[in-house]
Structures are given as structure tokens and as C-alpha cells.
Amino acid sequence: MTDIRAPYAYTRLLEAGLTEQELKEIGFHHGYWVDKAAVVQAADQHGLTQEQLMLNPEEVANQRFKSKLRGNLTSYLFEYEGAFRFSASPDHMRILGVEKCGDTALPVRVMDALLLEKTLYQVIARAKHLLAALDSKFVASEHASVFRDQQDPGKFKPRAPYRQGVSNGFRVNGQTFQTIKQIASAYGVSYERLRRQISESDVPPTEMSDDQWRECIDYANKEMRKTTDG
């Protein structure tokens, strides 16, 4: 059995004349979860195609939400910031299509929500795969030297502590900033937009020239004006 979340299939079957009780008998339970095979069978019985009942969120999700999904999700998972933590500007959240839900922000459209859920399951699956591979390497280290700082099976060579130097920060037009947030504040632009533009460039922020900083800041300004004017 393969359970899927199928809110749209639930609606289409209701429109086809089924009652809520009949949908429960098919197998729908809380959150519109249902066995995929049961949906396929119901589609055949009521003259519907699988495509009519099971839409692919990759194809029908809001394009702006889809295009910004990875960046916003990365910001949430690694920095605990961004749109999904309800820390973006209200205008940005409105354009993206998310709204406050507790201490997070979640999609306002069902297909966007399904795409987010699908992406999160992919992240979880890859994380579990990576964790399993790491565990296997640690187990292997009990019988062979598999790490560079390992002398023999079960014997690891301590390394000298890394020197904790003081960060030089970021140089922008002759001025030094310790964080990108400080730069965004100084130039009156959205931190989220500035950070995204920097992440899309091929140059680390510590190595960016004044011209490259100016390009990122100008882009963030233009995006903010689009939001204000639109």
C-alpha cells in the first residue's frame, strides 16, 4: 500500500457524486491521506482519469512560490530564518503566497503546500541516506583506517584546535560590516533579497568587489520597488 495526500482527488470525487461517508469507505482519512490504488480504482469506477484526480504539484504550483522554494527552505533549515519562519516582510510573504501559522508561515494555496511537503520528504530521505552512510563509515573505522586523522582501527589522532581568528567582515565601498544584515540595513534594502542575490552569485561575499556589491544592492532595491509599486 502506498498512501498519498490527495485533497484535490477528494474534491473531484465529491463533485462526481460520492458522499463523505463513501469517501471514508474508499479509505480517505484525516488530512486527505488515502491509498493510491484506491484512488485509481475510484477514478475508473466514476469515469475519471488518474490525471484528473492526482495533480502533480510540480506542474500546477504557483511559479513564484516554486522558484523561491529552495532558497526559502534553505534559509529556514540552516539559518532558522526567512519566509517559513514568519520573519520575512509582509509584502514579501504576500507575494510568495505564505501566511502566519503559529511561529511559522505556510502556503496559502493547497498545491504550493503539497509541493512544500513533497520537497520536505525528499530532504528527509536524503538526510536519512546520508546519516546511514556516515554511520557505516564510523562502523568501518572500527576495523580499518577510513578517516584522514585516524592512525589505526579505533585510534584517532587529535588535531590541534583551529585558531579562532577575528573575522574581517565584508568590505563595501570602503566600509566594513560584520554581517550582511548590517549591509542591508545601511543601504535600506531587504536582507532576504540581498542574501538571495549574493547566494546566486559565484563569488563568496568576503571576496566580492565594490561593483559586485553594488550590483547585488541595486537588484535588491529594484525588487523592493517592484513590491512597493505593484
187-228 pLDDT, tens digit per residue, is 988 888 898 888 877 678 888 888 899 989 998 888 777 665
- Asked if residue 115 belongs to a domain, the reply is yes
| Contact yes or no for 35/27 (Cβ under 8 A) | yes
Q: Which residue has the cell 520597488?
A: 225
Question: Looking at the 3D structure of the chain, how many domains does it have?
Answer: 3
Q: Are residues 75 and 123 in the same domain?
A: yes
The helix/strand/coil state of 205 is helix
The model carries a pTM of 0.66
Q: For residue 115, give every residue at least 6 positions away whose Cβ sits within 8 Å of its Cβ, in sequence order, or none.
A: 57, 58, 61, 65, 66, 69, 107
Nearest to 206 by CA among 181, 171, 175: 171
Rg (CA), the chain: 25
Q: Rounded to 5 degrees, what are φ and ψ at 151?
A: -85, -50
Question: For 155-170, what is each residue's pLDDT tens digit?
Answer: 988 765 544 444 578 8
Q: Are residues 121 and 68 in the same domain?
A: yes
Task: Report the C-alpha gap between 230 and 194 in whole angstroms.
Answer: 19
Q: Do 76 and 51 share a structural domain?
A: no
**Is residue 42 located within the same domain as residue 72?**
no
Residue 205: inside a domain, yes or no? yes
The reply to whether 70 and 126 lie within a common domain is yes
Per-residue pLDDT, 197:
85
- Model pLDDT for residues 76-115, shown as the tens digit of each residue: 898 888 788 876 677 878 888 999 888 889 999 999 999 9
CA distance 65 to 13: 28
The residue from 38, 55, 72 where one domain ends is 55
Q: Which three cell numbers stand for residue 127?
A: 538526510
Classify residue 208: in a domain, yes or no: yes
Range of the domain at 111: 63-131
Task: Give the bridge partners for 105, in sequence order.
Answer: 100
CB contact set of 78 (below 8 Å; sequence gap of 6+)? none
